[in-house]
Amino acid sequence: MKKLLSYIFWGLLFGGFVFGADSSGESAGVSAYAYEIGKVFNLPLTNAILTTWIVSIAFILLVRFTVGKPGLIPNKAQLVFESLIESLKGLLEPILGKKAFDIAFPLLLGFFVFILINNWSGIFPGIGVFGFQEVIGDEKGPIKYWLRPGSSDLNATLGLALIGMIAWAYICLRVSGAKFMIWELFGNKASKEETPKPIYLLLTPIFIGVGLIEMVSIAFRPVSLSFRLYGNVYGGENLLTSMTALAPWAVPVPFYFYEILVGVVQALIFTLLIAIYIGLITNHGEDH
């Protein structure tokens, strides 16, 4: 019985079974869009949303049952999570500054953990494995999995990016104030005492122009954040699908370890970028 369960586990993890898909090693890749598998309260339920729910609930239960009630003498699971929190704290506090850290850190920690478990969900048993391949005319279309990583859906990554930018605006206004934000974007940074008045006046429209360019950059931040995360996770899905089609039991194994690394890096990049955006406004040292 144990051997049978072991075979099923490794088969789900590395087998790459796709019902209805071509087993000859040729495919049109994974669908770029989330596949609607049903409705909840008359709202569409996609494979990415379902996976996000499953993975999030499983993670909450894992923390609950392994850590339990935190104690002064931590168990091994509590030590793992405390180490993660302390590592992120040491990384993010110098970027955010002391004033913004207490407000921003819970959100950034949530971003990192949520994105990480969703990035890694693509290598969990049963996710990105079962599904079907569309047939468009005489040609085989993209593969649509019944479960796929939540961050492989552009809607999910765009939602995370928008939440991050709304939080950026709120935290910056709360910590630094509207007046300082406007000056930081459009104000003349030259010193009045050290700069001749004619040059100072000539620099003013230049700084205003730079501020307008910065506003365009801020407007495009959600696009860059969402497409960077989506592109890497979706590309990883296609990579694993292609390698699995070549030789399900051998070729994909190194790429699974590669996806573990990519999952960490992308979660960290997303979190760090939001922290940097906040820190550019809020972190000016105690002497300013």
Task: State the chain's mean pLDDT as an integer.
Answer: 80
Whether residue 2 lies inside any domain: the answer is no
Whether residue 1 lies inside any domain: the answer is no
**How, if at all, do strands 139-145 and 43-46 pair?**
unpaired
Q: Does the pTM exceed 0.85?
A: no
- Identify the CA nearest to 232 among candidates 265, 204, 255, 199: 265
Whether residue 8 lies inside any domain: the answer is no
Whether residue 7 lies inside any domain: the answer is no
Beta bridge partners of 143: 30, 133
Q: How do residues 228-272 score in pLDDT, each as one tens digit?
A: 999 998 888 888 877 777 766 666 778 888 888 999 999 999 999
Residue with tokens 């955006």: 277
Cα of first residue to Cα of last residue in the chain, in angstroms, is 68
Q: What span, in angstroms and rounded, lies between the C-alpha atoms of 94 and 60?
A: 29
Instruction: Say how many C-beta atoms besides its own lie within 10 A of residue 75's C-beta.
Output: 12
pLDDT at 272: 94
Q: Give the residue-averaged pLDDT of 122-140.
A: 74
Whether residue 111 lies inside any domain: the answer is yes
Higher pLDDT, 161 or 182: 161
Whether residue 247 lies inside any domain: the answer is yes
Contact 142, 238 (CB under 8 A): no
Most confident of 81-90, 193-202, 246-255, 271-280: 271-280
Whether residue 270 lies inside any domain: the answer is yes
Q: What is the domain extent for residue 92?
A: 18-282
Whether residue 143 lies inside any domain: the answer is yes
Q: What span, in angstroms and rounded, lies between the C-alpha atoms of 200 and 72?
A: 58
The tally of domains found in the chain comes to 1
